[in-house]
Amino acid sequence: MLKTDSQGHHLDNERLEFLGDAIIEAVVSNYLFRKYQEEQEGFLTTMRSKLVRRSTLNQISKRIGLDNLIKASITAGTHNSFIGGNAFEALVGAAYLDRGYRKCQQFFLSLIARGYLNPDNLAQKEENFKSLLLEWCQKNRIIINFETDELNPEICRKMPSFITRVIIEDHLMGQGRGYSKKESHQLAARRVLERIRERPRVADHLIEDHFMRKVITDISSSIHDH
Q: Which tops the pLDDT comparison, 212 or 159?
A: 159
Residues of the chain with CATH 3.30.160.20: 129-225
Q: Are 145 and 61 in contact (CB under 8 A)?
A: no
* Catalytic residue IDs: 21, 89
DSSP structure class, residue 102? H
Residues of the chain with CATH 1.10.1520.10: 14-124
Classify each residue of 126-160 as buried b or exposed e, where b means 16 or more C-beta atoms within 10 Å of its C-beta. eeebbeebeebbeeeebebebebeeeeeeeeeeeb
The pLDDT tens digits of the residues spanning 33-88 come to 999 998 887 788 878 888 888 788 999 999 999 988 876 554 444 334 578 888 99
Residue 206: C-alpha distances to residues 8, 73, 173, 181 (Å):
36, 28, 10, 25
Task: Report d(CA 130, CA 144) in Å as an integer.
Answer: 11
pTM: 0.57
Strand partners, 148: 164
Instruction: Report, as an integer, the average pLDDT of 132-157.
Output: 84
CATH code of domain 14-124: 1.10.1520.10
Strand partners, 175: 165
- Confidence at residue 2, expressed as pLDDT on a 0 to 100 scale: 45
Class of domain 129-225: alpha beta
Share of the chain above pLDDT 70, in %: 78
- Confidence at residue 179, expressed as pLDDT on a 0 to 100 scale: 78
Name the average pLDDT for the chain: 80
